[in-house]
C-alpha cells in the first residue's frame, strides 16, 4: 500500500511511520506542517528510505492537499495531524479549532473528491482512518466503568471538544457521502520521542536537571497508559483490516494515577542514574521523589479515563505487548540514552525555522 500519514513528524505519527518502513513493504507519504511538536529528527532512522516521502503541507490548505492526493495516489489515509496538548488548548483554543476541525474538514473533502474519481478496484479498497483520543468521552463516573465504542461523548477541554468535533465530521462524511472511514480512540500514549511538555518526559527531564516535578492537584487522576509502539501496531492493523464505518478503542490495560506514574519514574531514575547528584542540584537530599511539587489543578481536569479494548482484540487480534512496567523502563532508558534528541527540542534547534526545511522540496 501507499499510505498518506498526516502529522507524521509528531509523537504518534513518527512511531507509525517508523513501524511501517521498518516492518512492512508499504510506502509512506508524510504530510506535516512541522508546527512546534513536529520533529524530523524523530524520523532520522527511516527518512533516507526510498519508500518514505515528506510533504511540507498545512492540512487546512485545500489546494496543497489536493495536489498531494493527485501526486501520490494513496491507498489509505491515516489522519494523525492535530494539536493535542490540553494545557495549550486552555490558554489558546483557536488553533485547536482550526487544525483539528477545519483541518479535518479540509482533508475529508479532498479525500472525498479523490476517492470519487478512483477506478473501481482502488475505490473499493480506499480507507480514511481518523486517529482520535479517549478524552472525547469525558470523565468516567465509577471505578469499574470503561470507555466503549458506544460511550456518549462529553468532552471537558477545548482540545477534547475539537477532537470530538472532528470525530463527528468523519462519521458524517461516511454516512452522508459514503466515504470509507474508520475511527480509533486511544488512551494516553507514552514512549520514545515524546515531546517534553507531556507528563512522563517532563518528569524525566526535570528530575535529571534537579527541577521541581509539578503534579496537578493531588495527583490522583487516573489514566490508561499505552506504549506508543503498541499503538502504532494497532493503527496499522486498523488501517489495513478495520471495517469501514466502525470505531475501535485502543488501550494499554494499564491504569495508573498520575502521582504513581511520577513516583515510578523517580524510582527508575534512582536505579539507573548513578547517585542522586541531579536532585541535589536544587539542595534536595531526599532523592528524585523529593522534587515532587503539587500545583493548582488545571480547569476541567477529568479524574479517570479507562479503555475497554475488547473489540479490537476480538475482531482484529490486537493486544498490547508492553506492560506499564516494561514500557516505562524502556522509555526512561531511551531518554537517558538519547540526550541529543531531547536537548535539540529544549534548545529549539530541532524546529522548522532552525533546520531551514522551508527550502526542502519533495525528496522522492
Tell me which of 41, 58, 135, 224 is the catalytic residue.
135
Name the grid cell of 79. 489522519
Catalytic (active site) residue 135: yes
Helices in 153-254 by DSSP H: which ranges?
Answer: 158-177, 199-208, 228-241
Cβ neighbours around 8 below 10 Å, total: 30
Alpha-carbon span 293 to 289, nearest angstrom: 9
Q: Which of left, alpha, beta for 356 (phi over 0: left; psi -120 to 50: alpha)?
A: left
CB contact burial 293-326 (16+ within 10 A = b; e otherwise): eeeeeeeeebebbbbbbebbbeebebebebebee
List the beta strands (DSSP E) in the chain. Answer: 2-6, 27-32, 52-56, 76-79, 127-133, 181-186, 188-190, 213-216, 222-227, 247-250, 255-257, 292-295
Nearest to 258 by CA among 211, 319, 190, 348: 190
Name the grid cell of 124. 473499493
Name the grid cell of 134. 479517549
Tell me which of 32, 41, 83, 134 is the catalytic residue.
134
Alpha-carbon span 124 to 211, nearest angstrom: 54
Catalytic (active site) residue 52: no
Tell me which of 105, 114, 159, 335 is the catalytic residue.
159
Angle between helices 324-337 and 258-272 (to 10 degrees): 50
Cβ neighbours around 241 below 10 Å, total: 13
Catalytic (active site) residue 159: yes
Nearest to 319 by CA among 328, 309, 331: 309
- Number of residues assigned to the chain: 364
Residues with a catalytic annotation lie at 134-135, 159
Amino acid at each position: 500500500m501507499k499510505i498518506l500519514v498526516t502529522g507524521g513528524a509528531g509523537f504518534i505519527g513518527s512511531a507509525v511511520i517508523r513501524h511501517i518502513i521498518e516492518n512492512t513493504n508499504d510506502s509512506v507519504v508524510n504530510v506535516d506542517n512541522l508546527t512546534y511538536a513536529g520533529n524530523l529528527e524523530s524520523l532520522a532512522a527511516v527518512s533516507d528510505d526510498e519508500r518514505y516521502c515528506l510533504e511540507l503541507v498545512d492540512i487546512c490548505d485545500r489546494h496543497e492537499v489536493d495536489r498531494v492526493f493527485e501526486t501520490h495516489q494513496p491507498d489509505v489515509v491515516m489522519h494523525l495531524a492535530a494539536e493535542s496538548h490540553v494545557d495549550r488548548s486552555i490558554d489558546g483554543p483557536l488553533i485547536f479549532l482550526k487544525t483539528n476541525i477545519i483541518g479535518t474538514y479540509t482533508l475529508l473533502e479532498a479525500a472525498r473528491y479523490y476517492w470519487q474519481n478512483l477506478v473501481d478496484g482502488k475505490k473499493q479498497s480506499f480507507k480514511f482512518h481518523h486517529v482520535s483520543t479517549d478524552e472525547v468521552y469525558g470523565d468516567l463516573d465509577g471505578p469499574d466503568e470503561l470507555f466503549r465504542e458506544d460511550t456518549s461523548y462529553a468532552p471537558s477541554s477545548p482540545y477534547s471538544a475539537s477532537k470530538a468535533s472532528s470525530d463527528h465530521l468523519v462519521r458524517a462524511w461516511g454516512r452522508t457521502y459514503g466515504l470509507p472511514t474508520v475511527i480509533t480512540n486511544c488512551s494516553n500514549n507514552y514512549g520514545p520521542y515524546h515531546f517534553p511538555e507531556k507528563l512522563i518526559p517532563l518528569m524525566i527531564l526535570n528530575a535529571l536537571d534537579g527541577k521541581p516535578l509539578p503534579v496537578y492537584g493531588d495527583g490522583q487522576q487516573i489514566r490508561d497508559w499505552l506504549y506508543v509502539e503498541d499503538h502504532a501496531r494497532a493503527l496499522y492493523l486498523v488501517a489495513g483490516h478495520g471495517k469501514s464505518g466502525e470505531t475501535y478503542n485502543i488501550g494499554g490495560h494499564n491504569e495508573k494515577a498520575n502521582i504513581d506514574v511520577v513516583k515510578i519514574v523517580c524510582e527508575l531514575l534512582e536505579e539507573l542514574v548513578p547517585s542522586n547528584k541531579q536532585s541535589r542540584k536544587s539542595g534536595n537530599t531526599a532523592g528524585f521523589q523529593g522534587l515532587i511539587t503539587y500545583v493548582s489543578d488545571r480547569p476541567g481536569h477529568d479524574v479517570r479515563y479507562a479503555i475497554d479494548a475488547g473489540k479490537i482484540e476480538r475482531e482484529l487480534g490486537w493486544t498490547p505487548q508492553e506492560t506499564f512496567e516494561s514500557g516505562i523502563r524502556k522509555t526512561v532508558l531511551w531518554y537517558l540514552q538519547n540526550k541529543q534528541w531531547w536537548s535539540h527540542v529544549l534548545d529549539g534547534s530541532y524546529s522548522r525555522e532552525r533546520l531551514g526545511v522551508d527550502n526542502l522540496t519533495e525528496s522522492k
